[in-house]
Amino acid sequence: MIEKLDTKQFTVLVMMNTLGASIIFIPSIATNFGKENGWITLILATLIGALILCLYRRIIQRLEGSNFFTLIEKSLGKWIGKIVISLFCFYTFINVSANLWSISDFISIQILMGTPFEVVSFLIILTVLVAVRYGIEVIGRTSELFFPFAMICAILLTLLVIKDAELTNILPIFQLNRASTIAGIIPIISITYLELVILLAIAHTVNQNIGARKGIMIGGIASGFILIIITIASIAVLGVQGTSNYIYPIYALGQRINIFNFFERVEIIVAFIWFFTIFSKLCVSFYVLISGIQYLIPLKTYKTWTIPFTFLAFLASIQIIPNTIAAFPFINGPYTVISIIVGFIIPLLLFACKWKS
């Protein structure tokens, strides 16, 4: 059965993938660099992200119905192509493990305190396994269903903390820390827009090529806008010190919600945003990983690969980093490097290579 996504579903998947892990980490990372200009770092990152999206858009245009892995192999030759696809699969595997680690770490530290990390991680990856076995069409429809809830929670979060916002926290605008405001773009891009390279592997499943091209641009820019708003809210409410000290600043933002002393402690709405977005991201990344492996070693059905890789991803989520503190040097160092290689250099290479028909 040929699985198809429509433009709306693909746009939603782009947004869910961009917001996935980043919605909870970005305010802290941006503020660590840009301090009161953290939101400007986000604006600049969105602008550069739009350029990266233009590159992805051109690659989608080149797909013309064939899949991304075929494009790699046809453009770079059989053997180099296989090496590049393996590198792409490795990056996707790291992405799945890192996202699985981040949601499991968050749940076991903030929500289900006392429940072992391994139990949370295993339950999540088992759910992802079920979704991936149903196929990308079901993942697309599920994301479409979850999307309004995630957006309503994000809007509610921003609106309900507005009364605590102090605009002096985001002042002076771009007068201090200019260099660090700009340097902060690198890690932010690497965990938002460069990760969208993974979605190129499902772009051929979109009904119309033009829909996929539109979807990646609209989804990417819209999610950049949401990240800017949430970062402004975090800095304005929690202050620079508060935002950069919290590992999950938007969760702390949720804890501040208090309306007439009866509507309070509703930080779980933040968790809802994250559950929906990261589940969708995990499903897509895992599906792409399995598709890549299936392309390299073809079997009768891709489903055969799903169970062993579920276990391997679970193991990798336990063994990816020792603790939450180690996540930030990992993002600033090795993860940024591999993101730039897979998310920028490889697409640029594909863009530069002529399609050998």
Partner 1 sequence: MLQLLIFLIISTLLFYFEFKMIGKAKATKDKLIFTMFMLIAVTLLSLQSLDFPFPYLADLLELATKPVSNPLEQWLQGFQEE
Residues that bind partner 1 in the complex, under the rule CB under 8 A: 32-33, 94, 97, 116, 118, 122, 177, 179-180, 183-184, 186-187, 297, 299-301, 303-305, 307-309, 311-312, 314-316, 318-322, 326, 329-330, 332-338
User: How far, in Å, CA of 339 to CA of 357, rounded?
Assistant: 29
Maximal C-alpha separation, the chain: 67
Torsions phi, psi of 148, nearest 5? -60, -40
State the nearest-atom distance from the C-beta of 139 to partner 1, in Å: 20
Angle between helices 136-161 and 117-134 (to 10 degrees): 130
**Residue placing its CB nearer to partner 1 in the complex, 112 or 353:** 112
Provide, rounded to whole angstroms, the least separation between the CB of residue 253 and partner 1: 21
Nearer to partner 1 (CB atom), residue 229 or residue 312: 312
And the tokens for 268? 């779980």
The answer to whether residues 50 and 254 touch, using CB atoms and an 8 Å cutoff, is no
Output 68 or 309, the one with its CB closest to partner 1: 309
Q: Which is nearer to partner 1, 316 or 349 (CB)?
A: 316
Distance in Å, CB of 322 to partner 1, minimum: 6
Q: What is the DSSP letter of 335?
A: I
Decide whether 64 or 118 has the Cβ nearer to partner 1: 118
Instruction: Answer whether 143's CB lies under 8 Å from 303's CB.
Output: no
Q: Does an H or E element contain 184, and which?
A: none
Count each helix (H run) and each strand (E run) in the chain, helices first.
16, 2
Peptide bond into 172 cis (omega under 30): yes
Identity of the residue, 7 or 243, whose beta carbon is nearer to partner 1 in the bound complex? 243
Give 271's contacts (C-beta < 8 A, 6+ positions apart): 106, 107, 110, 111, 251
Minimum distance of partner 1 from residue 355's CB (angstroms): 30
Work out whether strand 258-259 and strand 263-264 pair parallel, antiparallel, or are unpaired.
Answer: antiparallel
Rounded to a whole number of angstroms, the minimum distance from the CB of residue 334 to partner 1 is 4
Please report how close the Cβ of residue 83 comes to partner 1 at its closest, in angstroms: 15
Q: Which is nearer to partner 1, 120 or 257 (CB)?
A: 120
C-alpha to C-alpha distance for 52 and 202, rounded to whole angstroms: 17
Secondary structure of residue 342 in the 3-state scheme: helix
**Tokens 């299936």 belong to residue:** 294
Q: What are the tokens at 226?
A: 């949401």
Using the minimum distance from each CB to partner 1, give the nearer residue, 259 or 326: 326
CB of 180 to partner 1, least distance (A): 4
Q: How far is the CB of 52 from partner 1 (least distance, A)?
A: 18
| Euclidean distance between CA atoms 302 and 135, whole angstroms | 10
